[in-house]
């Protein structure tokens, strides 16, 4: 190794040490800043969706600034840094149009608030509970434990069904009974189940139980009840089970689809 190279490395040692110290300091500043932000937003009761998004953005900004300062300490000319950032920005912008779209989508979600942390939503064909909204992705957790990462750009352009935006949801059930059964009796059985169901609400509307259709092999009874949003899935299955059990106990038949075949007497059937 030449003496010139050794001297050059020795000259760089102080800058390298300073850059390392700044990089470590940047990490410390980032952690302190995020901790202060977290405490402040908790005291101000900032929506947790906004909370997580701002923390994610702040973390990225501090890291970028730390890296730029480190390069400057290493005596990389600022003009070169700016030129490199501009060129990289253009190249990255062209290569990562979707990512930039996702970042913009994240801000759109943040300010328009079609969903927030803890909401149960359907986005396109995916549905689940909102776990997080980061810079690039909206994270959903499904009822069976799967985690879905949906790009924010897709979220901002998709139709969003927020099933827990309101604290109440309308539950609709359709029960089928045989034509030979007394539908008045079936309706009273259903009303009895609803009266004893603790999650059924009387407001904004009392439960509705009525005949709604004559099907090919059944009479259809329509049930509409308001349920607290967070208990919707439980109440849906609970009412269905209790009505089915009550029908069985009281002799109400739940028919299966059937076809009656009539064969004229003059047609011979060969066995």
Any domain includes 47: yes
For residue 211, the model assigns a pLDDT of: 92
Any domain includes 188: yes
Q: Name the residue range of residue 129's domain.
A: 108-162
With 0-12 / 13-18 / 19 or more C-beta atoms within 10 angstroms meaning exposed / middle / buried, residue 81 is middle
Please, which pLDDT band fits residue 20 given cuts at 50, 70 and 90?
confident
Number of separate domains in the chain: 3
Q: What is the CA radius of gyration of the chain?
A: 32
CATH number of the domain within which 155 lies: 2.30.30.60
**Is residue 138 located within the same domain as residue 158?**
yes
Q: With a cut of 90, say whether residue 64 has pLDDT above it.
A: no
Q: With a cut of 70, say whether residue 6 has pLDDT above it.
A: no
For residue 79, the model assigns a pLDDT of: 66
Q: With a cut of 90, say whether residue 175 has pLDDT above it.
A: yes
Any domain includes 175: yes
The last residue of one of the domains, among 95, 122, 137, is 95
Give dist(CA 50, CA 130) in Å, integer: 13
- Which region among 21-30, 56-65, 213-222 has the lowest average model confidence (pLDDT)? 56-65
Chain segment 77-129, per-residue pLDDT in tens: 666 666 666 666 555 554 455 666 777 777 788 778 888 888 889 998 898 99
Higher pLDDT, 168 or 267: 168
For residue 81, the model assigns a pLDDT of: 60
């Amino acid at each position: 190794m030449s003496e010139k190279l050794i001297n050059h490395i020795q000259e760089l040692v102080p800058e390298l040490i300073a850059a390392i110290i700044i990089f470590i300091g940047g990490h410390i500043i980032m952690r302190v800043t995020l901790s202060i932000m977290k405490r402040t937003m908790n005291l101000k009761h900032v929506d947790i969706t906004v909370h997580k998004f701002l923390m994610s953005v702040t973390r990225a900004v501090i890291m970028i600034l730390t890296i730029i300062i480190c390069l400057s300490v290493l005596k990389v000319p600022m003009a070169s840094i700016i030129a490199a950032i501009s060129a990289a920005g253009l190249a990255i912008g062209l290569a990562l149009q979707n990512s930039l779209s996702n970042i913009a989508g994240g801000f759109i979600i943040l300010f328009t608030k079609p969903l927030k942390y803890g909401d149960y939503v359907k986005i396109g064909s995916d549905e689940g509970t909102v776990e997080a909204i980061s810079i690039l992705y909206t994270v959903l957790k499904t009822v069976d434990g799967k985690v879905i990462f949906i790009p924010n750009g897709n979220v901002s352009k998709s139709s969003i069904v927020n099933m827990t935006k309101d604290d109440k949801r309308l539950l609709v059930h359709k029960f089928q009974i045989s034509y030979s059964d007394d539908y008045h009796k079936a309706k009273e059985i259903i009303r009895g189940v609803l009266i004893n169901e603790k999650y059924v609400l009387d407001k904004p509307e009392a439960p509705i139980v009525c005949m709604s259709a004559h099907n090919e092999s059944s009479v259809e009874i329509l049930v509409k009840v308001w349920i607290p949003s967070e208990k919707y899935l439980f109440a849906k299955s609970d009412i269905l089970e209790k009505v089915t059990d009550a029908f069985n106990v009281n002799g109400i038949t739940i028919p299966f689809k059937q076809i009656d075949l009539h064969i004229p007497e003059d047609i011979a059937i060969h066995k």
